[in-house]
């Protein structure tokens, strides 16, 4: 399959996606809003800022003008932080035509509106087919050709299968799914739990605590997702437990690294600046905290992390409160009455 692909966003993941597609011989265009960063990539033929030591394949071309990158593309991939997806799509909209398939590879929920990214796309470009690509995938490994699995989700099965074929290779296996809500929520909410995993590490806790956090964190993700109409089985897949495992356990995870520093006593803003990249879990936590109230679901871990990040709650005290909550049965129904928080 020879297609012209545009990737908008030259961060670590956007670059890794562009490199992976170009490695198959496809004509891939890469553009980033930061012109100095873009020119550095043109000069160096690699992304030294985020993925040093990974040279670009010959068929990957970096452009300084967004219009040049998008022109003639059949698929346009957005790889910008979730909080900038709306503005990025609004800027690109005049360059898009309805035949282009729009792919989003970011993970997050827009604060304020509480919109999933597919909902933003539906409001701005309703005539375009939309696919979300998610799953356990560190850019640092994908750009080196290490085996990785992803999921492509869309309400349009043909579009999901087209992107599946586009991405798939001998080192990148892609599955399809029609549960866009579940795939987006799994990819977004796991970043909050990864922050919590890092906080546990920073506090000096061990594997027992992290396993408990991940397991009960997944229960909260599933609880909210089910209330929002997602298929519960999605959270047992790549964008659920798969992404949760990789993000909570790896030092590639910017959310976990940020959490470690917070657990060690670093102020949240200082920790974010030290990471040097967007820490999506910070924003998603705010959104999820509001969504839990909106949908009337209990999310004590998310609430505790929100209080640590936004209300200066002591991390150790937050853990103690979680451990001393009212006892309950592990398999209690996921739905609870509204206003129970």
Half-sphere exposure of 281 (CA within 13 A, CB side): 32
3-state secondary structure 40-105: HHHHHCECCCCCCCCECCCCEEEECCHHHHHCCCCEEEECCCHHHHHHHHHHHHHHCCCCCEEEEC
The DSSP output letter for 322 is: H
Q: Which residues contact 28 (CB under 8 A, 6 or more apart)?
A: 4, 5, 6, 7, 18, 21, 22, 59, 60, 61
- Grouping H, G, I as helix, E, B as strand and the rest as coil, residue 200 is helix
CA quadruple 294, 299, 305, 311: dihedral, nearest 10: 50
- Four-CA torsion 171, 176, 182, 184, nearest 10 degrees: 50
Give catalytic residue positions: 190
């Amino acid at each position: 399959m020879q297609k012209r692909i545009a990737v908008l966003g030259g961060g670590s993941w956007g670059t890794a996606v562009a490199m992976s597609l170009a490695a198959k011989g496809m004509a891939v265009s890469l553009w980033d809003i930061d012109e100095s960063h873009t020119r550095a990539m043109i000069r160096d033929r690699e992304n030294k800022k985020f993925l040093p030591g990974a040279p670009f394949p010959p068929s990957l071309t970096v452009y300084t003008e967004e219009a040049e990158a998008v022109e003639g593309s059949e698929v346009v991939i957005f790889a910008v932080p979730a909080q900038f997806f709306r503005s990025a799509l609004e800027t690109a909209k005049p360059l898009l035509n309805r035949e282009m398939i729009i792919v989003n590879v970011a993970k997050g929920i827009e604060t304020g509106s509480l919109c999933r990214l597919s909902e933003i796309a539906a409001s701005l470009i309703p005539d375009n087919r939309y696919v979300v690509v998610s799953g356990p995938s560190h850019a640092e490994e994908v750009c080196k050709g290490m085996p990785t699995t992803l999921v492509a989700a869309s309400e349009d099965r043909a579009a999901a299968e087209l992107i599946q074929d586009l991405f798939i290779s001998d080192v990148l296996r892609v599955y399809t799914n029609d549960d866009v809500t579940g795939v987006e929520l799994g990819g977004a909410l796991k970043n909050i739990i990864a922050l919590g995993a890092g906080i546990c590490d920073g506090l000096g806790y061990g594997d027992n605590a992290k396993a408990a956090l991940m397991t009960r964190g997944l229960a909260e993700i599933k609880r909210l997702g089910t209330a929002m109409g997602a298929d519960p089985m999605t959270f047992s897949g790549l964008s659920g437990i798969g992404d949760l495992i990789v993000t909570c356990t790896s030092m590639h995870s910017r959310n976990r690294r940020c959490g470690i520093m917070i657990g060690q006593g670093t102020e949240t803003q200082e920790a974010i600046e030290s990471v040097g990249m967007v820490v999506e879990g910070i924003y998603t936590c705010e959104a999820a905290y509001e969504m839990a109230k909106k949908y009337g679901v209990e999310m004590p871990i998310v609430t505790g992390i929100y209080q640590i990040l936004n209300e200066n709650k002591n991390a150790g005290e937050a853990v103690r409160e979680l451990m001393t909550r009212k006892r309950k049965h592990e398999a209690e129904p996921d739905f609870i009455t509204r206003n129970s928080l």
